[in-house]
Structure 1
Amino acid sequence: MPESQRRLWLIGGTSESVQLAEAIASVGFPCLVTVTTVDAKSLYPQTPSLQVQVGRLDGKQIEQLWQQQHITAIVDASHPYAVEISRNAIATAQCYQIPYLRFERPIVKGDEEIGCRDLACYVSTVKAGFEPRLSSTARQNSLNPPLQTNNEPSVITLDSFETLVAGDYLNQQRVLLTVGYKVLSLFQDWQGRSTLFARILPGVTSLEAAIAAGFSRDRIIALRPPIPFELEIALWRHWDISLVVTKASGIAGGEVTKRQVAAQLEIPLIVIDRPVVEYPQQTSDITVALEFCQRYLTT
């Protein structure tokens, strides 16, 4: 295929994917970005080399996308819990031998995010070429410094939401759920045995899902992350929260801040592990992702 017809497919939907798209656009790589909402589309740069498409894709639509857009490589920077799009993209990549790279937001261990590279700092430099990887000291300095606390948070890690609702963790607790709207229905049966509060993204779909799951309007708050530490701690205190449930969503999803607040207020924090997906190859390093793009778009 002529180089001029080759196009990268970036699966978007996260803050990391926006920053990666900026880096890709800055070096002029032809790229198709797919997102699921119009609001998400507005976050991406508007350049001739970058096309943003809105809509959910199933396996058949992904196959059509590959054929119509001349996709030569896939970078999957979707949300860690958006497993359906990842699995469908991997299946298509394997079927048609398309190079695939998972760009995964780093995981959090304690107060640190493991494998974190500062994406934004590269956007202004990639035009000059691909930078060498940071030394271990430089990489450590690029991490957001953790807040020091005197208390160790009580963090409970569970493998799934199903495990959570099947157990007795929520019984008679005042629970703040920061888990997204899609799983709120799983907690409906707990409405009579605990006091549940939901923090969701501002949007009609999110609000309707919360109300349908039994959350009254005075137990719903719509905020877009990142949530500042001061606001997070004020909200927990205002609602007299005794237990918080979150996803293992990394810094971008506010996980580190929640760990810090949980430690300071001595409130248990339940973290739901990321779904298991067998990615063919994976990185949290923007230079690796850009080298991947260059390899399959210029050779």
Structure 2
Amino acid sequence: MILVLGGTSEGRELAHRLRQAGYPVLVSLATPLGRAFAAEGETVVGRRDAAAFLELFRQRRVSLVVDAAHPFATELRCQIREACARASLPYFRWARPFSPLPVHPLLYPCSSFEAAAEEAVKKGPVLFLTTGTRTLPIFLSRAREAGCQVVVRCLPDPETVSTCLQLGLSHRNIVALTGPFDQELNRALFRTYQATVVVTKESGTAGGMEAKLHAAWSLGLPVVLVRRPPEPAGAFYCLEELFLAIEQHAKGVKK
């Protein structure tokens, strides 16, 4: 069984190709919402630490793990790599290709979410966040200190929306939609919520980054961008190269 960490367009494509090639595939998703975008095939849902992944390996007789999760899923990456090391399972990372950042006077790259929060409040008073809810407390804390308002665009998942409400966000400042969005819709949302700064992540074209950048700049809005974390050594950026490695592994297992 090949375990694919999905939840991304890359994960869906990979799982589909693997099944077409005749491999047994199990896709791991963080939330139930991901099932709607996982295409055909078997899935398991839930956030897991290394111990939980080890149990999943045992139950489903996993022989190979392919990590196609989001570039910013660093905690997940840490847990699955630890689990693979403990179980002596091969771990392949299929990474989203890096896209060069455009040069623009309204782009403010930051190396961390904390630095992005500091930069964003300088350009308040209305921060429009498209960075998810895992780091939302960082931005809320700094924004409240600076007297800024925060609008969050997040997935329309009950748990995610509940997290926003529990952190004290007004329901009026929660935009629960499934992206990525085109430039026109991004621009309409930024304008409607009277954003003075947009905060996003370096998620690449697949994550809708370029549409957000150009929508913001068309309105004269600055964009604070959190730089993408480094990928593990040996990560694959080409699907064909990844497939070749999977085929070589499968041949070795059969011998």
TM-score (normalised: structure 2)? 0.88
Per-residue deviation, residues 3-52 of structure 1 (Å, max 9, x unmatched): xxxx2111112121011111111111112211122231243343xxx532
- Alignment equivalent of 1:36, drawn from 14, 30, 40: 30
**Which has the bigger relative contact order, CA under 8 A and spacing at least 6?**
1
Larger gyration radius, structure 1 or structure 2: 1
Q: 2:127 is matched with which residue?
A: 175
Q: Which moved more, 1:68-77 or 1:89-98?
A: 89-98
Deviation, 1:53, is 1.6
1:93 aligned partner, one-letter code: C
Deviation, 1:269, is 0.6
Q: Is the 8 A contact 1:185 1:209 kept in 2?
A: no
CA–CA distance in structure 2, aligned partners of residues 221 and 42 of structure 1? 19
Change (3 A) 1:163 1:91: same
Structure 1: tracts of 5 or more residues without a match? 1-6, 112-150
CA–CA distance in structure 2, aligned partners of residues 208 and 27 of structure 1? 40
Task: Indicate the RMSD between aligned Cα atoms, in angstroms.
Answer: 2.1
Deviation, 1:202, is 0.9
Q: 1:23 is matched with which residue?
A: 17
1:283 aligns with 2:236: yes
Q: 1:123 is matched with which residue?
A: none
CA–CA distance in structure 2, aligned partners of residues 259 and 218 of structure 1? 24
1:85 aligns with 2:38: no
Q: Is the 8 A contact 1:8 1:293 kept in 2?
A: no
Say how many residue pairs are matched. 249
Q: Is the 8 A contact 1:108 1:256 kept in 2?
A: no
CA–CA distance in structure 1, aligned partners of residues 83 and 19 of structure 2? 25
Q: 2:94 is matched with which residue?
A: 103
1:243 aligns with 2:237: no
SS state at 2:132 partner:
coil
Q: Is the 8 A contact 1:173 1:195 kept in 2?
A: yes
Runs (4+) of structure 1 exceeding 4 A deviation are none
SS state at 1:176 partner:
strand
CA–CA distance in structure 1, aligned partners of residues 38 and 189 of structure 2? 31
Structure 2: tracts of 5 or more residues without a match? none
CA–CA distance in structure 2, aligned partners of residues 245 and 187 of structure 1? 10
Identity %: 27
1:199 aligns with 2:150: no
CA–CA distance in structure 1, aligned partners of residues 101 and 230 of structure 2? 20
1:59 aligned partner, one-letter code: A
Deviation, 1:180, is 0.7
